[in-house]
Structure 1
Amino acid sequence: MSHFKKTLLGAVIAATTMAAGTAHAYMIGDPNDANVEVYGVVSISAVDYNAKKFDATGKEVDGDGMVLENESRVGFRAAKTMNDSLEAFMQIESGWVLDDGAKLGNRDTFVGFRGDDWGSVRFGRMLTPMYELVDWPYSASNMGTTFDRGWRAGERFNFDRKSQMGRYDSPMFGDMVKFSLAGGNGSSNSADSMFVGGSVSVTPIDRLTVHAAFEAANETEFDTDLIGDTSAFFGGFQFNLMDNWNVAGAYKTAGFEADKKGGTYEEREIDAFSLQTNYFMGDFNFRLGYANQTGDTDSKSDKELDFTTVTGEVGYSMNSVYTFVRIAQHSGTYRSDTELAGKEYDDLMIRVGTEWTF
């Protein structure tokens, strides 16, 4: 047999052996036929908060000036049909690009199951039902500086995004009502630190949607060396006056009670509301908003908890790319741990940015 024939025969035998091995390879589950989607949001803006800064002696120094803020995010979604009434789904998302980038999974990242008739259940990291409403649309156009202040110590009356949480979202009942329930660990992994929350949305008529939500937590890390119980309640509405004109408003009230007496304070309460209107004229969007917060510490009025925001926005959408100019007046009182404790301030924020999805 010639060298060529021997080589050809060897190749055929090797290929046959490999094919047989592949046919008998053991596989767990079915081949990967999940529906996978890559999605994201580009959101970059130049902003000047015009906030005053001071050195150690209390002398005013130059502020940050115009800076770039990058809220872009990217994520992966996948779903796999299990049977006629059950689908498994997941999501992994990153966002808020800081100087050192963004960590994969720092935004909503979860696994769950859903069905058209009974809704969905998820486990992992996601927004709480109450904060999902507080964040949008009721804190739009930087009204969150006043209406959403859970990021500041001493005002953490509710959580925003929790990593160890289970959440149930109902389907829409009668094209009118849906609700969500959630629970999980609170500020720590201890058995005594936990939270529960829920929300409900009702659309009694085509142009009106009403929202309500609550949240309660035990052993919340509320402020420096202060741990206690928190509770918060929320109500809001969205009303379409016309197809291109809507108004929205929300109110929230919340309280904190320390577990131990003798700390910096023992009780704290806040009340806050936001109002806004949006008018769409072709590809243009015009928004005006106002938000206000007042608070008490140990049953006494506390100016450090008083804030207001007046905001206006003009935006233009071209092929789903939204470019905007936003101006917001933030007013409040300097905290007791700053050089200008007790004095009032008015900072005029200017933001120019663009947002679009992919």
Structure 2
Amino acid sequence: MEKMFKRSVLGTAVAAAALMSMSANAYQIGENNDFNVEVYGVAAISIVNYDGEETDSTGAKTDTYTGYDYENESRIGFRAGKEMFDDFTVFMQVESGYVGEDGTGGTLGNRDTFIGMKGDWGTVRFGRMLTPMYEIIDWPYANPGLGASWDWGGDVKFNRDRHGDMARYDSPNFNGFNFNIATGRGDKSVDGNNWYGAAAHYRVADMVTLHAAFETETDRKVSDAVEESWGFDENGQSELTESVAAQFADTFGYIVGFEASLPAGFGLAGAYKSGESDVTGGDKSEQDSWVVIGQYWNGPWGVKVGYTENLESETDGMKNGDEDSVISGQLMYVHNGFVPYLRLAQRDIKSGTGADAKQTETFVVRVGIEYGF
């Protein structure tokens, strides 16, 4: 929910600054600027408790932990725009990241920040934003609390998320159908590292929305080069670490999914995604994932339950034993724009292979409140 930032307020603030500086020529946004200026954001904070246990490849317990943390996901953004020609509006947006523990992540430009043009023909943007594929992964399928597996917990990396150096086009709505296409640089220091992606959405009979997207990338860096160096092993003996060249991979991934609005306040959503990473001169890895989410609303009260699973990744046809899953439930209440909620989740995350394999089981309890403006 966004409200127009009153230009008179901005004008008052700037006028006050002008009086303090004794400058008669200060630029007064409220009076001398006819751009449509907005400020928006989310105030969001939660307290979360983690209760976890880690085991090694033999099943022996190697670590336990419990503790709580306050997570401040508040953020703020600014938008401005003005019609340049008939049916051609130029606009911009600058959005901060989450405040976090000490504000270091809350820098302006951390989230979607771009300059664009729009009209009846669609929208073009340049800058930092979500890729078409990740936009679907993130919403509606990562909520409630499924990101540790579904969103960013996969062992095979085949898509970007929020990324800079991007050009993106979003089409208008054609009788329930719209699409997005985008391209950009991956790592600008790597020659030939470019990515391409697209998504399509189709709403059927105002009840079911279908989603599909893909993303492909060339020469994505998957590991840095290591220079030759001398060190010491665990017994204190000198040891030579040989140099290793950086590794690069060509990647491809896709997602298909749906959202359904059912009678009596019920809703259902589900998606399947798959991707691969083919290392140049090395191995090809693949991994599939799926998610299902159900929700029910009765007036201001809402309940949402979700389950997701990363299936075992495979490298040249060999399974790696790194499957993981998350099951999560959330109770919400909406009143006057405020959304207090309670979320419970069980995470079962596996990583590593062979003797380095480990499994982490964590029970998560989160209580929070959000308010958008």
Output the amino acid matched with 1:149.
Answer: W
Give 1:240's aligned residue.
Answer: 261
Alignment of 1:126-141 (within 5 A): 126-141=129-144
* Contact preservation (8 Å) 1:289, 1:311: yes
1:315 and 2:316 matched = no
Quote how far apart the aligned CAs of 1:191 are. Answer: 3.6
* Contact preservation (8 Å) 1:314, 1:324: yes
Note the alpha carbon deviations across 1:313-338, whole angstroms, 9 max, x for none: 1111111110111111111324359x
Note the alpha carbon deviations across 1:200-247, whole angstroms, 9 max, x for none: 000122101000000000111234643211100010100011262110
* Contact preservation (8 Å) 1:277, 1:287: yes
Tell me, in whole angstroms, the C-alpha distance in 2 between the residues paired with 1:85 and 1:334: 52
Give 1:168's aligned residue.
Answer: 169
Give 1:41's aligned residue.
Answer: 42
Tell me, in whole angstroms, the C-alpha distance in 1 between the residues paired with 2:48 and 2:265: 28
Quote how far apart the aligned CAs of 1:268 are. Answer: 0.9
Tell me, in whole angstroms, the C-alpha distance in 1 between the residues paired with 2:186 and 2:97: 23
Output the amino acid matched with 1:309.
Answer: V
* Contact preservation (8 Å) 1:155, 1:222: no
1:284 and 2:301 matched = yes
Tell me, in whole angstroms, the C-alpha distance in 2 between the residues paired with 1:252 and 1:60: 32
Q: Which runs of 5+ in 2 are unaligned?
A: 1-23, 26-31, 225-245
Tell me, in whole angstroms, the C-alpha distance in 2 between the residues paired with 1:277 and 1:47: 23
* Contact preservation (8 Å) 1:45, 1:69: yes
1:106 and 2:110 matched = yes
Tell me, in whole angstroms, the C-alpha distance in 2 between the residues paired with 1:60 and 1:48: 20
TM-score, length-scaled by structure 2: 0.80
Give 1:205's aligned residue.
Answer: 205
* Contact preservation (8 Å) 1:333, 1:341: no
Alignment of 1:264-275 (within 5 A): 266-275=283-292
Where 2:107 maps in the other structure, the secondary structure is: coil
Tell me, in whole angstroms, the C-alpha distance in 1 between the residues paired with 2:278 and 2:71: 35
Where 1:142 maps in the other structure, the secondary structure is: coil
Output the amino acid matched with 2:320.
Answer: D
* Contact preservation (8 Å) 2:166, 2:183: yes
Shifted more, 215-224 versus 201-210: the winner is 215-224
Give 1:7's aligned residue.
Answer: none
Tell me, in whole angstroms, the C-alpha distance in 1 between the residues paired with 2:325 and 2:61: 26
Task: Give % identity.
Answer: 38
Note the alpha carbon deviations across 1:174-219, whole angstroms, 9 max, x for none: 2x10000000101334340100001000012210100000000011
Output the amino acid matched with 2:367.
Answer: V
Give 2:367's aligned residue.
Answer: 352
1:118 and 2:131 matched = no
* Contact preservation (8 Å) 1:157, 1:222: no
Note the alpha carbon deviations across 1:58-89, whole angstroms, 9 max, x for none: 98566351101111110000111112211001
* Contact preservation (8 Å) 2:72, 2:101: no
Alignment of 1:182-201 (within 5 A): 182-201=182-201
The Cα RMSD (Å) is: 2.3
Q: Against the structure 1 CA distance between its residues 336 and 296, is the aligned structure 2 distance closer, same or farther, given a 3 Å change threshold? A: closer
1:256 and 2:305 matched = no
Note the alpha carbon deviations across 1:121-151, whole angstroms, 9 max, x for none: 000000000000100110101112111126x
Q: Which runs of 5+ in 1 are unaligned?
A: 1-20, 23-30
* Contact preservation (8 Å) 2:321, 2:353: no
TM-score, length-scaled by structure 1: 0.83
Greater RCO, 1 or 2 (C-alpha within 8 Å, sep 6+)? 2
Output the amino acid matched with 2:150.
Answer: F
Q: Against the structure 1 CA distance between its residues 64 and 222, is the aligned structure 2 distance closer, same or farther, given a 3 Å change threshold? A: farther
Q: Against the structure 1 CA distance between its residues 327 and 114, is the aligned structure 2 distance closer, same or farther, given a 3 Å change threshold? A: same
Shifted more, 214-223 versus 244-253: the winner is 214-223
Give 2:78's aligned residue.
Answer: 76
Output the amino acid matched with 1:257.
Answer: D
* Contact preservation (8 Å) 2:71, 2:101: no
Where 1:139 maps in the other structure, the secondary structure is: coil
Tell me, in whole angstroms, the C-alpha distance in 2 between the residues paired with 1:53 and 1:237: 35
Q: Of the two, which has the highest radius of gyration?
A: 1
Give 1:8's aligned residue.
Answer: none
Give 2:250's aligned residue.
Answer: 229
* Contact preservation (8 Å) 1:149, 1:155: no
Quote how far apart the aligned CAs of 1:110 are. Answer: 0.2
In the comparison of the two structures, how many residue pairs are matched?
Answer: 317
* Contact preservation (8 Å) 2:159, 2:215: yes
Output the amino acid matched with 2:329.
Answer: G
* Contact preservation (8 Å) 1:187, 1:219: no
Give 1:16's aligned residue.
Answer: none
